[in-house]
Amino acid sequence: MRKFIILISLTLFFVLSCVPAYKHANDVQEGLQGDRLSVGKVQREIRKGMYSADVIQVLGSPNILSTDDQGREVWVYDKIATDHVYSTSQGGISALILGATTAGTGIVGGGIGPSFSSGSGASSVSQRTLTVIIKFDETGKVRDFAYHSSRF
C-alpha cells in the first residue's frame, strides 16, 4: 500500500508540474519586448524642438535620410519584424520494476512496469511594421513627426 501511495504522489507531482502552453507563449512574448523601437517610445520620447542628436540617442540611426522641397532633412525609420514563438513542455513518470533470481551462474528475471507522460506546446508567427517620419527645420530641430504601426 505504501508503494502505491508513493507512485500516486510522484505521478501527481509530474502531472501538476507541467507548464501549460499558454504560459510558455506568454513567457516568450515577454522576452521579445526589450528596448525596441515602438509607437509608445516615439510618443514618450520624441518632441517638437528636439535636436537631431537627441533623436538619434532615443531612436538610433534612421533607415532613410532625405530632404524636402525646401532642403530640410526628413528621417524615416522603417522597421519590419517577424516574431516566431514556439514553446513546449513535457512531463511524465515511468516505473521500472526489476525482479531477479539466481539460476545457475546467471541472474534471470525482470520486467517493465507502467509509464505515463504528457506534454503541451504552442507556436505562433506574426509580423509587425512601424514607420516613423521625422521632419526637421533649418536649424536641425524636430518640426513635425508622424508614425504608422501595423500587426498581422
Encode pLDDT of 95-134 as tens digits: 555 555 555 555 555 555 566 666 778 888 999 999 999 9
Q: Per the structure block, which three cell numbers stand in for 52? A: 537631431
Q: Which of the four pLDDT bands, split at 50, 70 and 90, describes residue 1?
A: confident
**Is residue 120 within 8 Å of residue 86, measured between CB atoms?**
no
> 525482470: which residue's cell?
110
- Res 5 pLDDT > 60: yes
- Picking from 83, 93, 90, 77, the residue whose alpha carbon sits closest to that of residue 128 is 83
pLDDT for res 22? 63
pLDDT in the model for residue 83:
85
Give yes or no for residue 94 having a pLDDT over 90.
no
Residues 6+ apart with CB under 8 A from 41: 58, 59
- Cα–Cα nearest to 135, from 53, 68, 69, 42: 68
Mean pLDDT to the nearest integer, 56-70: 96
Higher pLDDT, 50 or 26: 50
Has this prediction a pTM greater than 0.75?
no
Q: How many residues does the chain have?
A: 152
Interacting residues of 12 by C-beta distance below 8 A, sequence separation 6+: none
Q: What is the mean pLDDT of the chain?
A: 79
Q: Is 97 helix (H, G, I), strand (E, B) or coil?
A: strand
Cβ atoms of 41 and 117 within 8 Å: the answer is no
Least trusted range by pLDDT, from 20-24, 47-51, 90-94, 97-101: 97-101
DSSP H or E run through 22: helix 21-33
Sequence-distant (6+) residues with CB within 8 A of 150 are 128, 129
Beta-ladder partners of 111:
97
pLDDT at 20 over 70: no
pLDDT the model gives residue 101: 55
